[in-house]
Amino acid sequence: MDHDEGQVIHVCPFCRTMNRVNPEKLHQAVCGMCKNRLDATYYDIFGISQDDSLHDLKHRYHALTKMWHPDKNPGDMHAAEVFKSINHAYRILSDPHARRTYDLTLKKHEVAQIEHESREPDHPNKEIDDKQFQLNLMLVLMIVCALVMIFIALVLVRQVR
């Protein structure tokens, strides 16, 4: 059996490294390269929230591009990819229309996440069902044992007479 079964390639939003992950566990997976969360949003890249203004975004953008600029990290492929990610995320978040569309996709994702989590308590119920089944089985076995013992007792009483 292939142990990678059910896994998909997920590109890290920070450094663009390709990671193999199970889609159902994406919300707890981290990038093998930069250790950032793989389900991070463009807001996470800048360390800002959805309510922060364009001014906050610009401020963070300038600080990050300074840090990851290829001129400052010559020959560093990882830094170059991070730089690309920052620019891509900035293009989306600095454009009001693109940002609204992006916020909507985040909301949809959140709803899907909540629905997924509310489905999870299937397992404890299954355990309770299993326990209930075991109890019923024991009860039946005890009744059968009791009947056998009564039968043996009756046979013995007749033989004594």
- Nearer to Zn ion among residue 61 and residue 85 (C-beta): 85
Return the axis-axis angle of helices 77-93 and 96-119, rounded to nearest 10°.
100
- Nearer to Zn ion among residue 14 and residue 42 (C-beta): 14
Q: Choose, by CB under 5 A, the member of 34, 40, 79, 80 that binds Zn ion.
A: 34
Give the contact letters, 6-25, x = binds to Zn ion (CB under 5 A), - = no: ------x-xx-x--------
48: contact with Zn ion by CB under 5 A: no
33: contact with Zn ion by CB under 5 A: yes
What is the maximal distance between C-alpha atoms in the chain? 108
Do the beta carbons of residue 66 and residue 78 sit within 8 Å?
no
User: Minimum CB separation from Zn ion for residue 119, in Å?
Assistant: 29
**Total interface residues for Zn ion by CB under 5 A:** 7
Residue 123: phi and psi, rounded to 5, are: -70, -45
Give the contact letters, 111-150, x = binds to Zn ion (CB under 5 A), - = no: ----------------------------------------
d(C-alpha 34, C-alpha 48), whole Å: 19
Do the beta carbons of residue 7 and residue 21 sit within 8 Å?
yes
- Nearer to Zn ion among residue 77 and residue 128 (C-beta): 77
Nearest to 81 by CA among 33, 38, 49: 33
Element (H, E) at 98: helix 96-119
d(C-alpha 13, C-alpha 39), whole Å: 8
- Nearer to Zn ion among residue 37 and residue 58 (C-beta): 37
User: Minimum CB separation from Zn ion for residue 15, in Å?
Assistant: 3
38: contact with Zn ion by CB under 5 A: no
Residue 18: phi and psi, rounded to 5, are: -85, 125
Q: Which residues form the interface with Zn ion (CB under 5 A)? A: 12, 14-15, 17, 31, 33-34
